[in-house]
């Protein structure tokens, strides 16, 4: 039997519904303990109650601590797989940060649930069992951090939460899952083409994420400039275009050597320097804004946070964001 580390961090998967009020909150003792017997038929599972937080309370510092803890425990206790339970709201950010930082080929799987432990159709125990099966499978080796829910296996890089309550919320727009969990097997049908890793042990940068909207107030950019910001991610329209009113603000940030990373608020596709009008992609490229190739805003923010620990050189940053 494989030796699997199961790290709990909290989230709905560890919560219960109050039948009087209908609200959902943290349980005193983790309801997932009741799954241990089923899990022990699949692997030798060691539990680590690392955190007990709703995922909107999780910060990049928690994520960094989590990555160090995983790396240390894999190295010193020879775990052959790792499963992390996490709230679904920020799950994709934690999974992506781990993917960028962890230096291991051991399968690392992040999972969660959309329904709390005592709700009808609770998906937590099932997702946990699927995740332990995935982490214990030889085929999951060397594929980077994986996200497993609802019988699907996704890469940390491409997966995103697409629905507020549906149990099929985790999707990889454009790319799809790389595998499925069936009754009998853990089947991969794709192999991630690139792996990316950064040797970073601290996260010190303050990165702001803003979204473009029609008629955006340009003074927003001035307000941001007064904060202690080290970098900005901007979710632009379509192929990477912003309202012309915010261009002077962006120019000011560039003059202050604050890197600006461009992503699209569209679900699929990449940002490109197609449009030459004021605020169009071509104009933004000429200003020195950094283009990305498919990351969403919240993940580009995590990546910029990490990348700025390695370099502040604009060209180097641009290169990193095209990988």
Binding site for ligand ASP (CB under 6 A): 11-12, 54-55, 87-89, 112, 114
Cβ proximity to ligand ASP, 80 vs 93, nearer residue: 93
Give yes or no: 12 in active site. Answer: yes
Annotated catalytic residue: which of 12, 90, 155, 169? Answer: 12
Cβ proximity to ligand ASP, 280 vs 297, nearer residue: 297
DSSP one-letter code for 237:
B
Cβ proximity to ligand ASP, 89 vs 309, nearer residue: 89
Q: Minimal distance in Å, beta carbon 283 to ligand ASP?
A: 38
Please tell me the distance from the alpha carbon of residue 89 to that of residue 107, in angstroms, as a whole number.
22
Please tell me the distance from the alpha carbon of residue 67 to that of residue 168, in angstroms, as a whole number.
27
Please tell me the distance from the alpha carbon of residue 109 to that of residue 85, in angstroms, as a whole number.
9
Cβ proximity to ligand ASP, 54 vs 60, nearer residue: 54
| Cα angle, residue 96 at apex, residues 92 and 100 outer, rounded to 5° | 175
Tokens of 18: 């109050």
Q: Which residue has the tokens 């349980």?
A: 27
Q: Minimal distance in Å, beta carbon 58 to ligand ASP?
A: 8
Residues with Cβ within 8 Å of 62's Cβ and at least 6 positions away in sequence, in order, are: 9, 51, 53, 94
* Distances, alpha carbon 152 to alpha carbons 40, 80, 229, in Å: 22, 21, 37
**Exposed (0-12), middle (13-18) or buried (19+): which is 251, by Cβ within 10 Å?**
middle
Cβ proximity to ligand ASP, 61 vs 276, nearer residue: 61
Q: Minimal distance in Å, beta carbon 126 to ligand ASP?
A: 14
Q: Minimal distance in Å, beta carbon 60 to ligand ASP?
A: 16
Q: Minimal distance in Å, beta carbon 222 to ligand ASP?
A: 33
Q: Which residue has the tokens 């219960």?
A: 16
| Cα angle, residue 294 at apex, residues 241 and 186 outer, rounded to 5° | 160
Cβ-closest residue to ligand ASP?
87
Residues with Cβ within 8 Å of 66's Cβ and at least 6 positions away in sequence, in order, are: 7, 9, 50, 51, 84, 94, 98
Active site residues: 12
């Amino acid at each position: 039997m494989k030796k699997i580390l199961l790290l709990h961090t909290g989230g709905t998967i560890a919560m219960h519904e109050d039948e009087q009020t209908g609200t959902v909150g943290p349980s005193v003792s983790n309801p997932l303990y009741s799954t241990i017997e089923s899990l022990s038929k699949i692997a030798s599972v060691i539990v680590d109650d690392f955190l007990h937080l709703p995922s909107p309370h999780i910060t990049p510092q928690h994520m960094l601590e989590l990555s160090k803890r995983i790396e240390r425990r894999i190295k010193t206790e020879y775990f052959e797989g790792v499963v992390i339970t996490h709230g679904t709201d920020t799950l994709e950010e934690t999974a992506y940060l781990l993917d960028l930082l962890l230096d291991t080929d051991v399968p690392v799987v992040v999972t969660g649930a959309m329904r709390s432990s005592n709700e009808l159709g609770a998906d937590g125990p099932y997702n946990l069992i699927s995740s332990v099966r995935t982490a214990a499978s030889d085929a999951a080796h060397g594929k980077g951090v994986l996200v497993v829910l609802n019988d699907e296996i996704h890469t940390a890089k491409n997966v995103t939460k697409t629905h507020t309550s549906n149990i099929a919320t985790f999707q990889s727009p454009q790319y799809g899952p790389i595998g499925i969990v069936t009754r009998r097997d853990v089947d991969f049908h794709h192999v991630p083409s690139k792996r990316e890793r950064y040797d970073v042990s601290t996260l010190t940068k303050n990165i702001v994420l803003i979204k473009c909207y029609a008629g955006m107030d340009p003074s927003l950019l001035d307000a941001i400039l007064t904060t202690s910001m080290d970098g900005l991610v901007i979710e632009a329209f379509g192929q990477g275009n912003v309202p012309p009113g915010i261009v002077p603000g962006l120019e000011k940030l560039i003059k202050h050597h604050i890197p600006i990373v461009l992503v699209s608020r569209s679900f699929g596709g990449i940002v490109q320097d197609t449009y030459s009008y004021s605020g169009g992609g071509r104009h933004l490229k000429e200003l020195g804004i950094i283009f990305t190739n498919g990351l969403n805003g919240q993940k580009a923010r995590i990546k910029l946070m990490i990348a700025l620990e390695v370099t502040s050189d604009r060209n180097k940053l641009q290169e990193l964001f095209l990988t």
